[in-house]
Amino acid sequence: MSNTGIKKTTMRAWAINAYGGPERMRLVELPVPPEPGPRDVLIRMHGAEVGDWDALVREREWPMERPFPLVLGLAGAGTVAAVGREVTGFAESDSVYAYSYPLYHNGAWADYMLVPASYVAGALASLELTRAGGVPIVGLTAHETLTDILGVHQGDVVLITAAAGGVGHLAVQIATGLGAHVVATASRRNHDFVRALGAETVIDYTAEDVVAAIRTLYPDGVDKALNGVGGETANQGVHTLRDGGRMVDLTGSASVVRPGVRVDTEYVVRADADRLAGVARMIDDGRLTLEIHEVFPFERAPDALEVVQARHTHGAKSCSRSRSNIGQTESMAQTDGGGPSNENGYCFYTKSRKGGATTQRRESRRLYKKAKNSVTTVPFSLDSL
C-alpha cells in the first residue's frame, strides 16, 4: 500500500529523548511513520487531546514500550493519509479520530500518527477536526463508566462530581439521557452551565457539605456515583451511596471502606472504535454537547499541558509559558526503548473494592492517584501545516 496521501518524508513532533519534566519536551523533526501494516491506518493529525496523562507518560509513570524519541499524545483527530491492504471502512481523506494506549507506534502530538484500524472511528461531522481531537478519552471514559461499569438506567439517582470538567460535563448529559436523576457538584460560577446540561441538583462543593446536602435530598443515598475529584472528596462520595450502591472513582483517592457498597478506584478505558463511533453519533445528533476549554496552536503544545495541570492543581485559568524549547525544531535519532505495543489498548487500570475485599487487576493505584485530575481536555491545532 503506497502512502499516496503523504506529500513529505519528515514531520514535526513533540517528543522526549529521556523521561523527566517539561524541560525534556522538544519540537523535533522525525521521519513520517512507515507505510501502514495490513491492518493499520496512518492519520494526518489536525488536533490532539491533552491531559495529565501526558505528563505521566513523559515522567515514565506510565511506561511506554517504545523507543526514543518518544512522541507524546494518546488521542486526537485527523484525516486518513493511508490504509493497510486489509483495512475496510476507511479510505484516504476520511475524517477520523483515534485513541492509542499503549502507544502502537508514535503519539498524537505529531503531523502523522500510525495506529491499528481497531483504534480508529469516523470523526464527528458536526465538529471541526481541531476540536474533535478533544473527544476520545473523555468521551470513552464518561460513556463506559456510566453504561458498562455503573450500569446507569432510568430512575437511578447518580452523583457526578467535577460536573463542569471534561469527563463530568459529558457524564451529566449521558446519565440524563439514560433517564437518571443527576446530582452534580460544581463551583458556583458553573451552576448554570451544569444545570443546562441536565443536572436536576447542583451543589457548590466549595461552600456546602456535599454529603449532608445529598442525604437531605435522598436520605437513603444515591444509587451510583462518578467521582472526578481527588482527596477527601472521593471519600465523601463513598458516604453518599445507598446500601448496595456503587461508585467509580477516577482519581484513585477513595480510601474509606463501607460494607455493602462497591468502589472502583482505578478505571480502565479501552481503545474501542465502536464506542468512539457511538459517542460521535451522540454529538452529531445533539444528544451530547462538547465544551472545549481552549485550543492551542501546535507550537504551544507544552503550554496546553501546563494549563491543564495548573488549573487542576492550583485553580489557575492560565499558566506561564512553558520552559520547553517552543518553536525550536531539532532532529532526533531513534534509540532503543522497547518494542511495539500490542493492540489491546488501555488508558487506566482498575481495582474494585467491595466491603473491604479488594481485587486488583494491575498494580497501578499509586499512578492513578498521581493522575487524579486527568479528566479535562485541551486540544491543540495542527492545522497550520
| CATH number of 31's domain | 3.90.180.10
Q: Would 1 be classed as within a structural domain? A: no
The amino acid that residue 184 corresponds to is A
Burial 19-54 (b: 16+ CB within 10 A, else e): beebebbbbbebebbeebbeebbbbbbbbbbbbbbb
Q: Would 337 be classed as within a structural domain? A: yes
| Residue owning grid cell 447542583 | 202
Q: Would 299 be classed as within a structural domain? A: yes
**What are 32-63's pLDDT values in tens digits?**
999 999 999 999 999 999 988 898 899 988 77
pLDDT at 368: 35
Domain with residue 179: its CATH number is 3.40.50.720
Q: Are residues 209 and 323 in the same domain?
A: no
Q: Are residues 76 and 120 in the same domain?
A: yes
| DSSP code at position 117 | G
Q: What mean pLDDT is predicted for residues 137-165?
A: 96
Which of 243-247, 278-282, 374-378 is the most confident on average? 243-247
Q: Would 368 be classed as within a structural domain? A: no
CA distances from 316 to 108, 140, 247 (A): 26, 26, 28
Q: Are residues 142 and 263 in the same domain?
A: yes
For the chain, the domain total comes to: 2
* Per-residue confidence band for 336, with pLDDT thresholds at 50, 70 and 90: very low
Q: Are residues 328 and 340 in the same domain?
A: yes
Q: Are residues 18 and 118 in the same domain?
A: yes
pLDDT at 101: 83
pLDDT at 380: 61
The amino acid that residue 35 corresponds to is E
- Nearest Cα neighbor of 163 from 154, 155, 171 is 171
- Domain of residue 158 covers 138-269
Q: What mean pLDDT is predicted for residues 350-367?
A: 34
- Contact between 79 and 113 under an 8 Å Cβ cutoff? The reply is no
Strands in 58-178 per DSSP E: 70-71, 75-83, 95-99, 112-116, 120-122, 157-160
Q: Would 20 be classed as within a structural domain? A: yes
Q: Are residues 130 and 80 in the same domain?
A: yes
Separation between Cα atoms, residue 332 and residue 166, nearest integer Å? 34
Q: Are residues 111 and 177 in the same domain?
A: no
pTM for the model stands at: 0.81
Q: Are residues 78 and 102 in the same domain?
A: yes
Q: Are residues 90 and 110 in the same domain?
A: yes
| End-of-domain residue from the set 269, 284, 300 | 269
- Residue 259: cis peptide before it, omega within 30 degrees of 0: no
Q: Would 193 be classed as within a structural domain? A: yes
Separation between Cα atoms, residue 161 and residue 148, nearest integer Å? 19
Query: What order do you get walking across the sheet with 351-354 strand by strand?
Result: 201-203, 181-185, 157-160, 222-227, 241-249, 262-266, 351-354, 357-360
